[in-house]
Structure 1
Amino acid sequence: MQIFKVFRAPEWAQMQRDGQTLGAPVDLADGYVHLSTAEQLPVTLSKHFAGETGLILLACKAHDLAPDLRWEVSRGGALFPHLYRPLRMNDIVWSRAIATTDQGHETGDLGWGDPG
């Protein structure tokens, strides 16, 4: 199963430079890296990134993040993936820019790469 992280361009650049990251400011404040499933991603984008451009979508294989990945109750009682260690470049299966339209963010086909 693939899970996803959304970064702003400077956050993605920092991760590429350092080879890993503890995440965005919200991740640092909460003590874990927030991730989303494909089904959760549209609401994550509209709730936390509304109106923002220059976003990068990263895909990871959930099983590769174990045992540091926990599924915890969050928004609306749904289980969200939270990573309790740095997110590393070798965790990333693929990355790409998130397009924006008049209707908001366009995630397109989330099945790029090995579905893992």
Structure 2
Amino acid sequence: MAALETQPRYLYKIVASNAPIREPIPERLPVSELDQDSGFVHLSMAHQVPNTLKMFFKDDPVVYILRIEYGRVIQDIRWESPDAKVCGPRPGEGLFPHLYNGLKLGKEEVESIAIWQNEDGWDKALEGAEPWLLY
């Protein structure tokens, strides 16, 4: 895809509660089954995080949100539609960043981590996410 009109400063990876992220971040984090099957790391821009949380992590009690500086991974990002087999059309969200770098995500790519708790839905966590979750 052609370059975005305005490039994001950060991209985000949501990690399920069954794969806790500890600091210091290792050289290479474990790869989710979805990412392994897809052959790339699924990422989101800030405005895509809420729906991704609500669609795929609605029952998780906790998630780990990894913030990745776009400039660190720009050479390995492809902007693509979500796979229809994984999630149906998501109007208004645009293309998603997918990281094609051999499934490597670790201390060189991740700038910081946030831990969010699911309190009867993700709205409370999302309200408290700014200014860390930069739109």
Which TM-score applies when normalising by structure 2? Answer: 0.71
Q: Which runs of 5+ in 1 are unaligned?
A: none
Which AA in structure 2 matches 1:87? L
Q: Which runs of 5+ in 2 are unaligned?
A: 1-8, 83-88
Answer yes or no: is the 8 Å Cα contact 1:22–1:32 preserved in 2.
Answer: no
- The aligned counterpart of 1:76 is 90
| 4+ aligned runs moved over 3 Å, structure 1 | 12-18
2: CA distance, partners of 1:81 / 1:22: 19
The structure in which a higher percent of residues are helix is 1
Cα RMSD over matched residues?
Answer: 2.5
Judge which range, 12-21 or 87-96, deviates more: 12-21
User: What's the % identity of the aligned pairs?
Assistant: 25
Q: Pick one of 34, 38, 58 that aligns with 1:30.
A: 38
2: CA distance, partners of 1:22 / 1:72: 23
The structure in which a higher percent of residues are strand is 1
Larger Rg: 2
State how 1:19-58 maps to structure 2 within 5 Å: 19-21=27-29, 23-58=31-66
Residues 1:15 and 1:94: Cα distance change in structure 2 (over 3 Å): closer
Which AA in structure 1 matches 2:98? H
Judge which range, 74-83 or 24-33, deviates more: 74-83
- The aligned counterpart of 1:5 is 13
Which TM-score applies when normalising by structure 1? Answer: 0.81
